[in-house]
């Protein structure tokens, strides 16, 4: 499937994603492979919207009629006039699939729904934009996904190359689902599960605001994107939205997919151990396994620098969790960060449990399975622990 778009006079090539992160347009076309061409028009429109939303200022005209409900949801969420309007909306399907990246959060989400099929997004080169990130091994991740034993559909796309900055990245986080949306009719999808965890959904982590965000515009079911996906009959579900990365790490490493877990995009036969993401995940894994930090990086290494500056920063709750639990942390590159925190096991124990509203917001037909899994494998937060979430960063 080819997507080509033209800007209107009022549109701009520097825009903002829903989390206010600035993104800059590089080119106006991309393609998505491995998808049928007969999806409901709302699915085409939503897939396109995940790619072009940041640059749209007043209106968007799709190449086919969409439902009035979808147009209304775009208007309500973004203040954008969308059309033409002229078809009935898509009824929701009954299958929940997992948007599977192979990282620990994604594997943990998959573990919660052992029968769920996987949809994997694989980056491929763009015909007109040079790939300066060949060390990001999307082929390795795709290969690992085939070895999970799950029903798997791999979608290929160069849509990330529509961005000049930041690269590589998605215009909106939701663009990773563009191919899944186009497959939704074929797979009878009613929901798509993402591996976003407590920090991303509720604590304003990643490239976001750093405080408690019940109305998170990207991931709350009642937020702009949650509403829009639901109108297209594909609910956004965050199976692990109530648990921290310590819990997703533990669940992933205990699961039967543990040998397929790969959060690093660089290594070919294992994580590279030297990138920023590997360092962050090693901090979490060492804390979960209660062993000394094992990294070749030092306080002088480039990936270490952001953790040595003053907080706050994304993933701060997990830094506190790690500082409180890793034996000998004061003799590692994180020694400086100890100056900023007084984290203890007790003060960070809320990160071992599940925030109940995260399960409550899963649509009814998939909720009980998630709740039973949490009860059996994690446990819910106490009132005091819930309070820690709801006052985070405030
Ligand atoms: Zn790495």
The tens digit of pLDDT for each residue in 149-159 reads: 999 999 999 99
Tens digit of pLDDT for each residue in 347-361? 999 999 999 999 999
Number of neighbours of residue 377 by Cβ within 10 angstroms: 16
Ligand 1 geometric centre to CA of 257 (Å): 19
Cβ atoms of 328 and 208 within 8 Å: the answer is: no
Least confident of 84-98, 132-146, 239-253, 321-335: 132-146
Ligand 1 geometric centre to CA of 176 (Å): 21
pLDDT tier at 268, thresholds 50, 70, 90: confident
pLDDT tier at 167, thresholds 50, 70, 90: confident
Mean pLDDT taken over the chain: 95
What is the pLDDT at residue 258? 95
In the predicted model, is pLDDT for residue 315 greater than 90? no
Ligand 1 geometric centre to CA of 277 (Å): 6
In the predicted model, is pLDDT for residue 262 greater than 70? yes
What is the pLDDT at residue 210? 84
Ligand 1 geometric centre to CA of 264 (Å): 4
**What does the block give as tokens for 80?**
């954008």
* d(C-alpha 309, C-alpha 302), whole Å: 12
pLDDT tier at 133, thresholds 50, 70, 90: confident
| Closest C-alpha to 232, from 84, 44, 358 | 44
Cβ atoms of 234 and 189 within 8 Å: the answer is: yes
Least confident of 25-29, 214-218, 314-318: 314-318
Over residues 19-29, mean pLDDT: 94
pLDDT tier at 135, thresholds 50, 70, 90: confident
The C-alpha angle with vertex 216 and arms to 16 and 106, in degrees rounded to 5, equals: 95
In the predicted model, is pLDDT for residue 15 greater than 90? yes
Ligand 1 geometric centre to CA of 284 (Å): 14
pLDDT above 90 coverage of the chain, percent = 86
In the predicted model, is pLDDT for residue 119 greater than 80? yes
In the predicted model, is pLDDT for residue 314 greater than 80? no
Tens digit of pLDDT for each residue in 61-82? 999 999 999 999 999 999 999 9
Least confident of 172-181, 311-320, 321-330, 340-349: 311-320
Ligand 1 geometric centre to CA of 233 (Å): 36
In the predicted model, is pLDDT for residue 207 greater than 70? no
What is the pLDDT at residue 377? 98
Cβ atoms of 206 and 200 within 8 Å: the answer is: yes
Ligand 1 geometric centre to CA of 91 (Å): 41
What is the pLDDT at residue 310? 85
What is the pLDDT at residue 261? 94
Ligand 1 geometric centre to CA of 136 (Å): 10
Ligand 1 geometric centre to CA of 267 (Å): 6
What CA–CA distances, in Å, run from 69 to 9, 73, 82, 190, 228? 27, 6, 11, 17, 9
What is the pLDDT at residue 265? 84
Spell out the long-range contacts of 214-218 with Cβ–Cβ below 8 A and sequence spacing 24 or more: 214/357, 217/18, 217/19, 217/77, 218/18, 218/19, 218/172, 218/173, 218/174
Ligand 1 geometric centre to CA of 134 (Å): 14
What is the pLDDT at residue 370? 98
pLDDT tier at 205, thresholds 50, 70, 90: confident
Ligand 1 geometric centre to CA of 36 (Å): 34
**What does the block give as tokens for 292?**
């000394």
Residues in CB range of 65: below 8 A, 6 or more apart: 41, 83, 84, 85, 86, 87
Ligand 1 geometric centre to CA of 263 (Å): 8
Ligand 1 geometric centre to CA of 105 (Å): 16
Neighbours of ion ligand 1 (CB under 5 A): 264, 266, 271-272, 275, 278
What is the pLDDT at residue 316? 87
Ligand 1 geometric centre to CA of 271 (Å): 5
- Which carries the bigger pLDDT value, residue 293 or residue 336? 293
pLDDT tier at 311, thresholds 50, 70, 90: confident
pLDDT tier at 87, thresholds 50, 70, 90: very high
- pTM, to two decimals: 0.96
* d(C-alpha 325, C-alpha 344), whole Å: 8
For residue 66, the cross-strand partners are: 85
Residue in this structure with the two tokens 């070895």, named with its chain if needed: 147
Ligand 1 geometric centre to CA of 219 (Å): 26
């Amino acid at each position: 499937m080819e997507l080509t778009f033209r800007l209107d006079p009022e549109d701009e090539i520097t825009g903002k994603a829903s989390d206010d992160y600035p993104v800059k347009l590089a080119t106006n076309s991309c393609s998505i492979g491995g998808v049928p061409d007969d999806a409901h028009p709302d699915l085409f429109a939503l897939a396109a919207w995940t790619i072009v939303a940041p640059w749209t200022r007043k209106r968007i005209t799709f190449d086919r009629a969409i439902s009035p409900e979808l147009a209304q949801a775009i208007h309500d969420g973004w203040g954008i006039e969308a059309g033409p309007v002229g078809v009935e909306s898509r009824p929701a399907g009954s299958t929940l699939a997992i948007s599977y990246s192979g990282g620990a959060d994604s594997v943990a989400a998959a573990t919660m729904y052992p029968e769920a099929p996987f949809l994997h997004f694989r980056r491929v080169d763009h015909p007109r934009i040079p790939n300066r990130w060949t060390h990001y091994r999307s082929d390795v991740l795709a290969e690992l996904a085939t070895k999970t034993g799950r029903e798997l559909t791999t979608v290929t796309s160069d849509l990330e190359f529509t961005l000049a900055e930041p690269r590589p990245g998605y215009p909106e986080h939701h663009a990773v689902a563009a191919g899944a949306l186009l497959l939704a009719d074929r797979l009878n999808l009613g929901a798509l599960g993402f591996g976003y965890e407590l920090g991303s959904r509720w604590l304003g982590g990643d490239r976001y605001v750093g405080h408690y965000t019940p109305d998170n515009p990207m991931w709350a079911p009642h937020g702009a994107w949650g509403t829009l996906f639901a109108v297209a009959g594909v609910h956004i579900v965050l199976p692990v939205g109530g648990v921290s990365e310590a819990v997703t790490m533990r669940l992933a490493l205990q699961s039967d997919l543990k040998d397929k877990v790969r959060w690093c995009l660089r290594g070919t036969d294992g994580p590279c151990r030297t990138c920023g993401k590997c360092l962050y995940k090693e901090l979490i894994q060492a804390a979960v396994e209660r062993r000394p930090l094992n990294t070749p990086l030092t306080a002088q290494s480039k990936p270490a620098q952001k953790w040595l500056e003053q907080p706050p920063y994304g993933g701060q709750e997990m830094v506190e969790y790690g500082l409180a639990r890793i034996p000998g942390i004061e003799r590692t590159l994180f020694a400086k960060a100890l100056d900023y925190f007084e984290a203890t096991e007790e003060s960070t124990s809320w990160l071992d449990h599940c925030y109940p509203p995260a399960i409550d917001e899963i649509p009814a037909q998939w909720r009980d399975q998630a709740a039973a899994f949490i009860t059996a494998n994690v446990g819910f937060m106490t009132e005091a622990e819930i309070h820690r979430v709801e006052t985070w960063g405030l």
